Structure 1
């Protein structure tokens, strides 16, 4: 299924959680003078416009980054990257996670991105060309298995399917377990939606059986509009870098007034 396009949801509350944690983890990992690999399984187009027709139609960005960005300290790596990207692309630009990761990576680091949608992957290639990212138009979980263990071996993988296909809930735990068997030192960061009906719970039970020491962070918030089924957002992190617990606690505090 190729119907999902993140332009309608870029900068929403789930993105704020996912991107703040991603920037925080990469900020810590890039302090060490050792190269790393960044892998993303569902990369989207990499760069979005918050004044686009798609963003205006849902209003999710206004409720997300538009409402919360000033609650992050000015020196927070997420807020710093937002400022740098807007200086480059304009005040209404919003970066997807591939572009946020690129802002954190250094010479010698590697980036592997997968995206299936033909229009999205074409834009992704254009956006990410200055950073030399390896972009593949293929299933992200298959790519994850193909490129691991990566070179450099140290690194982080972000897995964030749309979950429009119900089979994703069953496929993700199996894929992460298989990747971990090949790449047990990698940081594996999984995003998942919390929907009315809690479809994510069986997936989490499988993940927690495979990864009993992983970190789990969930935020609850009101639906973006009447009838919208997403009422929260979660991150499940295997081999979490130092400082991740503190960043999760910060996000819980930032989101608390929304409940």
Structure 2
């Protein structure tokens, strides 16, 4: 699957990813110590929703535009971050993860961005010139390993690839395993699209075999039944999410699900621990979804 950011800017996956990224960073910032924020696949930094790429898909109408039309105050921080790069009531520009992260920086925090594609790296430098971010142009997985552990005591790595390479998932598994050996307490976020359910289940099994004690998976299924051959949603793997984040997660997931549900569908937004560790996330009486996976569901039924 080739998922280039410019074609999908502001879609439902971006809304979920960025709303949760804001919440995650703010949970980490409840402690005063400095954070290093690392984005391995940073993209262009900012996207024109009126541009040809975004207009060809029109996905922002089902994403950021729905979030702006929604009244739930739990999405206020997300809407404010998007509004910060716009003038007027309706968003015309959409910030990528680098711009969201830059808005969250405190004086003691560091932001390291990486983009391998030359044209996107050039655009990224322009988009970030008014921020203290350091911008690299390297192989994402080489940079990931090179930058951990960071110089600060705590940090966050965001891995958000376009999945244009057939070995993308395999490289993520290999690099995550190596990064865990170097930085076991670090926080890592891995974004992924949901299209082929069987392939996704196999990938989760590979990640489960890494035996990471605290690995959270969040899956957003847009439709009440799979739509073969098309994009069905997206999700996040989060390694070592802080307690404050997991405790606040259930109402945030429900707010996002309700705002983004397509016409005629309820959709599902679910969080679950991938592995034996189950502490830190509120439990419900939902059934287990596979061996060692303690599920927390926030919509009708379990997938």
Q: TM-score, normalised by structure 2?
A: 0.77
CA distance in 2, matches of 1:63, 1:108: 36
1:107-186 map, 5 Å: 107-186=107-186
Higher mean C-alpha displacement, 113-122 vs 228-237: 228-237
Q: How many matched pairs? A: 255
Whole-angstrom distance in 1 between the partners of 2:119 and 2:15: 24
Distance 1:157 1:46, change over 3 A: same
Q: Does 1:233 align with 2:234?
A: yes
> In the alignment, which residue of structure 2 is the partner of 1:204?
204
Correspondence 1:1-259 to 2 at 5 A: 5-71=4-70, 72-73=72-73, 76-87=76-87, 91-210=91-210, 211-222=212-223, 229-245=230-246, 246-247=248-249, 249-256=251-258, 257-258=261-262, 259=267
**Does the CA contact (< 8 Å) of 2:27 and 2:245 recur in 1?**
no
Larger RCO, structures 1/2 (Cα 8 Å, 6+ apart): 1
Query: Unpaired segments of 5 or more residues in structure 1?
Result: none
Q: How far apart are residue 26 of structure 1 and its match? A: 0.9
Describe the shift of the 1:249–1:74 C-alpha distance in structure 2 as closer, same or farther (beyond 3 A): closer
Query: Which is further off, 118-127 or 69-78?
Result: 69-78
RMSD: 2.4
Whether the aligned pair in 2 keeps the contact of 1:30 and 1:104 (CA below 8 Å) is no
Distance of aligned partners of 1:76 and 1:187 in 2 relative to their CA distance in 1, 3 Å threshold: farther
| SS of the residue 1:200 aligns to | helix
CA distance in 2, matches of 1:75, 1:10: 18
Per-residue deviation at 1:129? Answer: 2.0
Taking structure 1 as reference, are residues 198 and 70 closer, same or farther at Cα in structure 2, changes over 3 Å only? farther
Aligned 8 A contact 2:19 2:75 in 1: no
Give unpaired runs (5+ residues) of structure 2: 268-303
TM score, norm. by length of structure 1: 0.90
**Matched residue of 1:99: which SS?**
helix
- How much has 1:78 moved relative to structure 2? 1.7
2:214 & 2:37 partners in 1: Cα distance? 22
Higher normalized helix content (fraction of residues): 1
Counterpart Cα distance in 2 of 1:237 and 1:185:
12
Are residues 66 and 124 of structure 1, via their aligned partners in 2, closer, same or farther at CA, if it must alter by over 3 Å?
same
Distance in 1 between the 2:62 and 2:152 partners?
Answer: 38
